[in-house]
Amino acid sequence: MTRPKKFRCLRFRPEVHYFKPRGIPLRQLEEVILLPDELEALKLHDIDGLNQIDASVKMKISQPTFARILDKAYKKIADAIINGKAIRIEKRL
């Protein structure tokens, strides 16, 4: 049995839900799904300029968990850019 997922404090609500390469119809593209906590981690670290410790405090998670979330987000974005995939930003429930 896996450990239950801890609540994460998410404040950012994006206006946009898709990014895709120009000139290719969305139906022809594979997509990468960016989860809400991954987007929040990107915003706090790269846009707001917080270090991982301060950002993890804002999200109410540990710093190692924050680092893992951020790493997954970077890998998904790199995959989309390098391999020409669409990025879908998952909506919160």
Task: Look at the domain 35-89 and name its fold.
Answer: Arc Repressor Mutant, subunit A (1.10.10)
Q: How far apart are CA 31 and CA 92, in angstroms?
A: 18
Q: Which of 37, 48, 44 is CA-nearest to residue 89?
A: 37
Q: Which of 50, 45, 38 is CA-nearest to residue 14?
A: 38
> pLDDT tens-digit profile of 31-75?
999 998 999 999 999 999 999 999 999 999 999 999 999 999 999
Which 8-state DSSP code applies to residue 22?
A: T
Please tell me the pTM assigned to this model. 0.82
Which 8-state DSSP code applies to residue 28?
A: G
> pLDDT tens-digit profile of 65-92?
999 999 999 999 999 999 999 999 988 6
